[in-house]
Amino acid sequence: MKARLHRPTPATLRRLATVLRNGGLVAIPTETVYGLAAHALNPEACHAIFRAKGRPAHDPLIVHVLDLTHAEQLAELNPAARQLAHAFWPGPLTLVLPKKNCVPDIVTSGGPTVALRSPAHPLARRLLKLAGAPFAAPSANPFTYISPTTAEHVRQGLGSRIPHILDGGPCPIGVESTVLDLTRPARPRVLRPGAISAEQIARVLKTKVTTVRRAGKPGTRLLAPGLLEKHYSPRTPLRVAANPTSTDAGTAVILLRKPAGKTRAGVYWLSRHGELSEIARHLYRVLREADAGGQRQILIEKLPPTAGGLAAAINDRVKRAAAKR
Ligand code: TXA
Ligand code: MG
């Protein structure tokens, strides 16, 4: 199989919506990262996602819906979930809730909960509308590699294993959604930090929001597979450093800000002036470029943990990318 890259014309969107409705796989752009989508209520289609990614069956999938009305068909929503959906949907917030019977076990890894989000990307929404079905969609990368933020990244990782990639350009946010466990609405817990911060969620709910730091035991059904220590990883060993400088030709360096003056080969930067949204948007692309540079190691500049907003999500991804294999 060789993936076809599709430009988003009205005709191709109609065609890809039909592919999805009939149980096929399509990689689609979202505002966070590209997702590998399949009809969420079709177990065979969802199996194909796991096969294409090489993803273990105990790692459940996020289901993408058009809106709150569609979410209510798949999960038992509580008042906190509705409040958050009103505040942040469509957008990068995924809610973990008790599932309804119609959601197949393959989607939830046999568990009693389902993760739901309503994506903001206009092309993802267009496809959801045209297909008239919810989409299960994990990030469109081989298991544990860096998530894709362009159609070309998807092609590099999965091009020989999936038939269709919809090219919607680079993803505007660049890191995956916040995953929030709302199964006990009085005790909301962030399972994976993302663009919607715990503080923003706490302000809407007027309750304390905690952040879970550890995954479950290896081999058991995971509380949050996104919390696996090694995840989002380049193949080249990566280390976080306070002031990464290197004159060593075997070391690539990733800086938070564009340095003044001319830079040597192997020096990358994530933003012009240190804006968090720009760092997040460029993080995965730059990690991939540095990984492809053929160096022995990559040093990435540490982002102060206090910076707030997107900082928690960026630091989380960098830490996992740097975790020892
Ligand atoms: O931004 C995103 O969330 C992207 C785009 C494509 O929407 N998707 C994504 O999916 O990152 P994936 O499969 O790479 O990550 C899914 C995360 C896992 O880390 C897991 O923690 C969580 O969703 N998850 C899914 N179902 C869950 C469940 N029932 N309980 C707890 N966590 C769940
Ligand atoms: Mg992923």
Q: For residues 125 and 118, what is the distance between their CA atoms, to the nearest angstrom?
A: 8
Amino acid identity of residue 248, one-letter, is D
In percent, how much of the chain has pLDDT > 90? 85
Cβ(177) – ligand 1 distance below 6 Å: yes
pLDDT band for position 213 (50/70/90)? confident
What is the distance in angstroms between the CA of the first residue and the CA of the last residue of the chain? 30
Amino acid 151: pLDDT: 98
Amino acid 84: pLDDT: 98
pLDDT band for position 230 (50/70/90)? low
pLDDT digit string, tens, across residues 266-287: 999 999 999 999 999 999 999 9
pLDDT band for position 22 (50/70/90)? very high
Question: Distance from the CA of 177 to the center of ligand 2, in angstroms?
Answer: 10
Q: Where would I find the beta strands (DSSP E) of the chain? A: 4-6, 26-28, 35-39, 62-64, 93-98, 113-117, 135-136, 164-166, 178-181, 189-192, 210-211, 238-241, 251-257, 267-271, 297-301
22-36, 133-147, 228-242: least confident range: 228-242
pLDDT digit string, tens, across residues 89-148: 999 999 999 999 999 999 999 999 999 999 999 999 999 999 999 999 999 999 989 999
Cβ(108) – ligand 1 distance below 6 Å: yes
Cβ(75) – ligand 1 distance below 6 Å: no
pTM: 0.95
> For atom 21 of ligand 1, which residue has the closest CA?
224
Order of strands across the sheet that contains 135-136: 4-6, 164-166, 26-28, 35-39, 135-136, 62-64, 113-117, 93-98, 178-181, 189-192, 210-211
Cβ(149) – ligand 1 distance below 6 Å: no
Phi, psi (deg, nearest 5) at residue 39: -60, 115
Mean confidence (pLDDT) of the chain: 93
**CA of 94, nearest ligand number:** 1
Helices (H), 132-270: 151-158, 198-205
pLDDT band for position 305 (50/70/90)? confident
Q: For residues 79 and 81, what is the distance between their CA atoms, to the nearest angstrom?
A: 5
Region 47-55 average pLDDT: 96
Amino acid 185: pLDDT: 96
Region 170-177 average pLDDT: 98
The two structure tokens encoding residue 241 = 């450093």
Amino acid 218: pLDDT: 44
In percent, how much of the chain has pLDDT > 70? 94
Long-range contact list for 212-218, CB < 8 A, 24+ apart?
212/181
Q: How many CA atoms lie within 13 A of 177 on its CB side?
A: 30
Question: Distance from the CA of 36 to the center of ligand 2, in angstroms?
Answer: 10
Q: For residues 192 and 196, what is the distance between their CA atoms, to the nearest angstrom?
A: 10
Amino acid 194: pLDDT: 97
Amino acid 215: pLDDT: 54
Q: Return the axis-axis angle of helices 151-158 and 276-292, rounded to nearest 10°.
A: 40
